[in-house]
Chains A and B, each alone.
Chain A
Amino acid sequence: MTSQLAPTAAQSARAATGGRRRGRGVSQRRVRLLFLAPAALFLLLFSLFPLLQLLRMSVSAVTARTLNAEWLFTGLENFRRSFDGGEGTDALLRTGIFVLVVTTLGMLLGLAAAIALRTRGRWSAALLALMVFVWALPPVVNGSVWKFLLGDRGLFNMIVLELGLRDSPMPFLYSQYWALMSVAFVNSFAVIPFNALVFRAALMNIPPETFEAAALDGVNKWQEVRHVMLPSVRPTTLVLLVLTLVYGFRSFDFIYVMTYGGPGTATNTLPFLGYLQAFARYDFGLGAATSVVTVLGVLILAAVYARSIRREEAES
């Protein structure tokens, strides 16, 4: 009896403990969900709903007349129109070039700045503060300043003309060949501080012993960068690369302020073309179709980003 009772009591005790655990687990899940709810609701309202609206708009005929009325379903007609006349294709090509320049310059100069500012000190701190200031500047202000700097009587042309490098000002913002590159350069400049800060944080995590060991092995500065720093920041590089690609892909503000897509259509990238179609032509359906293509590009990159984050977490 006792022998029978004992296990039963033990089972009951286990069951009771298990029940409490399960009860605690359920309650914990509820608490977690409760904490998750505001963020989920926020995302639902301000990300998912607009995205669904955008998708719906891209397959409908929506103009100023029908924006606040019923939207007529037109299938893929807007996508066909966007790319039929070559306007969308040209913008896609420009976006590709733009993203390439922004990503290359943003990553390389960001890493270079991080390496230069790796040390702790007064100058390093002052430069970092300046970079944070540049990063925090609203793009409209930043773009206006750069528009002035790149003008015929701006700083860069003053230097070029004073040094006698050219007879006439450089057409930074008004030549079809220069304009896209100039705006891409300014976009890169704006992303450098962020990239530098993230790279610097990764570099600061390298144990000092690693550098000491490398120094004992007699490595020079370049070898230190090549064989110590670069391998150490590789996971960060991948994440940052995806973020910079996304940043370049969705760039709009600087084009809006500095060239308005001009001269002609020379700096019309996909996001700016979508803006013109929706808010200058008031063909919201067409603008939405162009924007969906942009969003698709960003979503693909976002998926890569999420994957790389997971991998980095697993490795660490």
Chain B
Amino acid sequence: MTPTTRSAPSLAARAASRATNTSERGSGSRNGRRRAVGLTASALAAALALAACGGGGGDGDTGGTGGGGEGGGTVTVWHYFSDDNQVRLMDEFAAKFEGEREGVTVENVYVPYDEMNSKVIAAAGSQTGPDVVVFNGAETATLALAGALAPLDDYWADYEDAGQFPDSVIHQVEDQTYAVQGYVNLLGLWYNAEILAEIGVEPPTTIEELEDAMAAATDAGYSGITLCGLPQGQGEWQAYPWLSAEGFTYDAPDAAALEAGLARVRGWVESGWLSQQAVTWDQTVPFQEFAAGGVAFAENGNWQMGTAESDARFEYGVVPLPLGADGQVYLGGEGQGIGAYSQNPDLAWEYLTATYLDAEGQLLPVEIVGSIPSRSDAAQDEMVTGNELLQPFAETIETYGANYPSPAIPPESVGDVQLTVGQAWSAALGGQQSPADAAQNVVGQLERLGG
């Protein structure tokens, strides 16, 4: 079983939902702010459930006893956040738990993103490691298969709020639950409202409108769009919406569709709308470029709200990525799990239930980072429903939301597939390979990997 699997009824329901919503968007919802704010909460709850994976729960054979005892102790939390807002969130979580549990200390430990998995796995090899791991939820299989995460099934079975969480945020590997997401992150299309007003265009709802707007912005002396073209997982995450918009999926990889997706975005580079320098950008740099001004659009995530608020000196907004009928946007975010060799797994679970999984705790990422709560009750809070910038992301979940990683990818091949597609994306944008060659190469590799 894959970490996140989508059931057939979910797909059908989502397709129906997408059809309904496409007509809504076509009828004039251009910037996402015009629709009733109240839609956000219901859309979030419904869409997360619709884009769901196979059911949670199950009978774990290991794990803690639930509950946890009283008294002091230290919870070591490994995370890879370096952004100021995200670091502040970790500090706030620590303060919240320490305030609620006398004598408990939370020790947040920064581990660079690219080193997180190897360090957690290496630590497990020597039967040590953190109490709590905050990691890329898409890589649950890598950590779980290496025996670096403790199964959460027993805790989850006893957790009274488990029903608040949609299946799409519960990460399972081979029928065991290893991580839960406290929030959802996804991509949208950020736009510079002042540039769009100057060139006289509305935020785009179709890919053709987006390309027309980028051409107009470039003619007016601005850059068209920023995105991440790094040859690794981050690149694949940002590439997938555009590739899927041309019909590419991991269920049935089609070289022609992939080539079309790569060729379209390579065309943006050749037209001067997108800097070829994107192949050296991770997801942080292109948003900083956008926030500095002079760029019409940025493909980036809801977690950039804090950065936009602090750095952007212009009017801005967000719309769903204009991906047509076939497009998909990954529902990502960090997974939270308990280390397999945690000294105090019960205390670690208490930390999780008091912070990431707690209704009140889930509002901290909304306030500080701009992430979308995964609990259905937290998603209905005024802080979420009253935030206009979150609404387009909620609409995206409903319209384009896709499990991350694709359930079609075997768990042990997730890293390989992400790297292969990320490299092809970078090679096409950077001109190292033609879109046709890059696509052929990827499809060949996917066949080998069984994706």
Closest chain A CB from B451 CB (angstroms): 13
Given A280-B415, A281-B416, A282-B415, A174–B276 Cβ distance below 8 Å?
A: yes
On whether the beta carbons of B280 and A64 are closer than 8 Å, the reply is no
Closest chain B CB from A287 CB (angstroms): 11
* Residue in B229, B232, B279, B416 whose Cβ sees the most chain A Cβ within 10 Å: B279
- Tell whether B249 is near chain A: CB-to-CB under 8 Å: no
| B contact face: mostly helix, strand, loop, or mixed | helix
- Tell whether B31 is near chain A: CB-to-CB under 8 Å: no
* Complex interface: chain B residues within 8 A of A266 (CB): 427, 430, 432
- Tell whether A279 is near chain B: CB-to-CB under 8 Å: yes
A280 to B430 Cα, complex, angstroms: 21
A205 to B280 Cα, complex, angstroms: 46
On whether the beta carbons of B276 and A264 are closer than 8 Å, the reply is no
On whether the beta carbons of B415 and A264 are closer than 8 Å, the reply is no
On whether the beta carbons of B142 and A176 are closer than 8 Å, the reply is no
On whether the beta carbons of A264 and B430 are closer than 8 Å, the reply is yes
> Please, how many residues of chain B have a CB less than 8 angstroms from a CB on the other chain?
40
On whether the beta carbons of A67 and B125 are closer than 8 Å, the reply is yes
Chain A residues 275 to 316 lying within 8 A of chain B, measured CB to CB, are 276, 278-283
A281 to B231 Cα, complex, angstroms: 13
On whether the beta carbons of A276 and B419 are closer than 8 Å, the reply is yes
Chain B residues 113 to 149 lying within 8 A of chain A, measured CB to CB, are 114-115, 117-118, 121, 124-125, 141-143, 145-147
* Complex interface: chain A residues within 8 A of B423 (CB): 261-262, 264-265
**Contact among B146, B233, B278, B418 for A68, CB-based, below 8 A:** B146
* Complex interface: chain A residues within 8 A of B45 (CB): none
- Tell whether B426 is near chain A: CB-to-CB under 8 Å: yes
- Tell whether B305 is near chain A: CB-to-CB under 8 Å: no
Closest chain A CB from B51 CB (angstroms): 26
A65 to B174 Cα, complex, angstroms: 12
A264 to B429 Cα, complex, angstroms: 8
On whether the beta carbons of A264 and B424 are closer than 8 Å, the reply is yes
Closest chain B CB from A117 CB (angstroms): 34
**Contact among B277, B419, B427 for A281, CB-based, below 8 A:** B419
* Complex interface: chain B residues within 8 A of A173 (CB): 277, 280
A256 to B146 Cα, complex, angstroms: 25
* Complex interface: chain B residues within 8 A of A262 (CB): 229-231, 279-280, 423, 426-427, 430, 432
- Tell whether A152 is near chain B: CB-to-CB under 8 Å: yes
* Complex interface: chain A residues within 8 A of B10 (CB): none
Closest chain B CB from A156 CB (angstroms): 14
**Contact among A151, A264, A276 for B432, CB-based, below 8 A:** A264
On whether the beta carbons of A263 and B147 are closer than 8 Å, the reply is no
- Tell whether B275 is near chain A: CB-to-CB under 8 Å: yes
On whether the beta carbons of A174 and B125 are closer than 8 Å, the reply is no
- Tell whether A171 is near chain B: CB-to-CB under 8 Å: yes
* Complex interface: chain A residues within 8 A of B115 (CB): 279
On whether the beta carbons of A64 and B142 are closer than 8 Å, the reply is yes
**Contact among A67, A151, A176, A258 for B121, CB-based, below 8 A:** A67
- Tell whether B68 is near chain A: CB-to-CB under 8 Å: no
- Tell whether A259 is near chain B: CB-to-CB under 8 Å: yes
* Complex interface: chain A residues within 8 A of B424 (CB): 264
On whether the beta carbons of B419 and A176 are closer than 8 Å, the reply is no
**Contact among B125, B141, B145, B231 for A260, CB-based, below 8 A:** B231
- Tell whether B431 is near chain A: CB-to-CB under 8 Å: yes
Closest chain A CB from B265 CB (angstroms): 13
A280 to B136 Cα, complex, angstroms: 13
Closest chain B CB from A150 CB (angstroms): 9
A283 to B445 Cα, complex, angstroms: 15
On whether the beta carbons of B412 and A63 are closer than 8 Å, the reply is yes
A174 to B229 Cα, complex, angstroms: 10
* Complex interface: chain A residues within 8 A of B229 (CB): 262-263
On whether the beta carbons of B276 and A279 are closer than 8 Å, the reply is no
In the complex, what residue of chain B is closest to A176 when comparing beta carbons? B432
A48 to B263 Cα, complex, angstroms: 49
In the complex, what residue of chain B is closest to A281 when comparing beta carbons? B416
- Tell whether B433 is near chain A: CB-to-CB under 8 Å: yes
On whether the beta carbons of A175 and B280 are closer than 8 Å, the reply is no
A37 to B110 Cα, complex, angstroms: 36
**Contact among A65, A259, A278, A282 for B280, CB-based, below 8 A:** A259
In the complex, what residue of chain B is closest to A171 when comparing beta carbons? B276
Given A262-B231, A262-B426, A263-B231, A175–B431 Cβ distance below 8 Å?
A: yes
- Tell whether A147 is near chain B: CB-to-CB under 8 Å: yes
Chain A residues 246 to 261 lying within 8 A of chain B, measured CB to CB, are 256, 258-261
- Indicate with 1 or 0, residue by residue over B274-317, a CB within 8 angstroms of chain A CB atoms: 01111110000000000000000000000000000000000000
Interface residues of A (CB under 8 A from B): 63-65, 67-69, 147, 151-152, 171, 173-176, 256, 258-266, 276, 278-283
22 A-B contact pairs sorted by A residue (CB < 8 Å):
A64-B412, A67-B146, A69-B147, A151-B277, A151-B280, A174-B279, A174-B280, A175-B276, A259-B280, A260-B232, A262-B280, A262-B423, A262-B427, A263-B430, A264-B231, A264-B432, A265-B231, A266-B427, A278-B118, A280-B233, A280-B419, A281-B416
Query: When A and B form their complex, which 7 residue pairs have the shortest distance between CB atoms, in order from nearest?
Result: A263-B430, A264-B427, A264-B432, A262-B231, A65-B145, A176-B432, A263-B279
Interface residues of B (CB under 8 A from A): 114-115, 117-118, 121, 124-125, 141-143, 145-147, 229-233, 275-280, 412, 415-416, 418-419, 423-424, 426-433, 438
Contacts A279-B114, A279-B118, A280-B233 known; list 11 others, CB within 8 Å. A64-B415, A67-B125, A69-B147, A151-B280, A171-B276, A173-B280, A174-B280, A260-B230, A260-B232, A263-B231, A282-B415
